[in-house]
Amino acid sequence: MSADLIDGKAHAAALRAQVAAAGARFNAERGRPAGLAVVLVGEDAASRVYVASKARATLEAGMQSFTHRLPAGATQEEVLELVVRLNADEAVDGILVQLPLPPQIDETAVICAIDPDKDVDGFHVNNAGRLAVGQDGLVPCTPLGCLMLLRARHGSLAGLRAVVVGRSNIVGKPMARLLLAQDCTVTMAHSRTRDLQAVVREADILVAAIGRPLAIPGAWIKPGATVIDVGINRIEDPAGSGKTRLVGDIDFDSAVQVAGAITPVPGGVGPMTIAVLLRNTVVAARRRAGLGADAILCP
């Protein structure tokens, strides 16, 4: 048996086309494009690449892109002052502060300073609370992207047993809440779960988000399960070439022989994260303008 590959690039391209169409409608209705502001503090190489790709994708979707760069030595007060200005800027519908931040800056304080209605990352405590109680809010991009992939694969998820490995506020917890809202029976596992192998083996849907390379082997996976690998880990090439390669939290080579469907790394969840960020920006723009969410962008 060989699993079907879930093509995140293709799904993301389709979503981005929908976002562009919804953005064009917003522009026609409001006389301006939706706007996304990204704040980058410092010179982290990976963060620079992520910010550049987000800015490019925003422009390709027909939206305005505002990139604000602060030096690595910026104070927390300087970052907070910038966030306050962006909160008040009517051209900005979404604000994203690229993480991680330098050690002198309190990430929680910065996230909490963002207007929840512009919090397109979905990290603000107000949006986390809205998700927890089933109210409309802005949902973290990666979990929502995973949900979209799962619904494209299965249609209804009702009654399926889902296991989420990882309990972060960014992926694990919101993922579990999204699956519960879809009427899955959800188990959240983590580093202290007893007999993790047995728990994983129960999953019709397995979402791995623990940040440890190749941590879950194929032998743990229920035959025919749908596997969503959120992990992005860089490891040395075992061939000894001195190069590195990207792998997920799932041992793909063994899992692909057991699972019914699986996301590759790269090319699985990653492209969906940026596509959902664009989706969240248009949704935020419409809600701020009193227009309601565009139907095509509803998960």
Contact between 288 and 29 under an 8 Å Cβ cutoff? The reply is: no
- CATH superfamily entry for domain 29-115: Leucine Dehydrogenase, chain A, domain 1 (3.40.50.10860)
| Over residues 39-51, mean pLDDT | 89
Please confirm, yes or no, whether 118 is among the known catalytic residues: no
The answer on pLDDT for 50 being more than 90 is no
| Over residues 104-114, mean pLDDT | 97
* Phi, then psi, of 101 in degrees rounded to 5: -100, 160
The answer on pLDDT for 36 being more than 90 is yes
Please confirm, yes or no, whether 104 is among the known catalytic residues: no
Would you place residue 297 in the very low, low, confident or very high pLDDT band (cuts 50, 70, 90)? low
Annotated binding site for NADP(+): 166-168, 232
Looking at the domain 141-271, which fold is it? Rossmann fold (3.40.50)
Which of 98, 118, 222, 229 is catalytic? The answer is 98
Asked whether this chain's domains 29-115 and 141-271 adopt the same fold, the reply is: yes
Contact between 62 and 36 under an 8 Å Cβ cutoff? The reply is: no
Which pLDDT does position 236 carry in this prediction?
A: 85
Query: CA-to-CA distance for 129 and 214, rounded, in angstroms?
Result: 32
Task: Give the residue extent of every domain in the chain.
Answer: 29-115, 141-271
| Over residues 283-290, mean pLDDT | 94
Contact between 174 and 180 under an 8 Å Cβ cutoff? The reply is: no
Which of 115, 117, 119, 121 is catalytic? The answer is 121
Please confirm, yes or no, whether 197 is among the known catalytic residues: no
Contact between 226 and 217 under an 8 Å Cβ cutoff? The reply is: no
Annotated binding site: 166-168, 232
Which pLDDT does position 292 carry in this prediction?
A: 73
Which pLDDT does position 242 carry in this prediction?
A: 73
Quick: pLDDT tens for 193-231.
Answer: 999 999 999 999 999 999 999 999 999 999 999 999 999
The answer on pLDDT for 94 being more than 90 is yes
Instruction: Provide the whole-model pTM.
Output: 0.95
Of 191 and 63, which is predicted with more confidence? 63
Asked whether the CA dihedral 288, 291, 295, 296 is positive or negative, the reply is negative
Quick: pLDDT tens for 224-276.
Answer: 999 999 999 888 877 667 788 889 999 999 999 999 999 999 999 999 999 99
Contact between 221 and 227 under an 8 Å Cβ cutoff? The reply is: yes
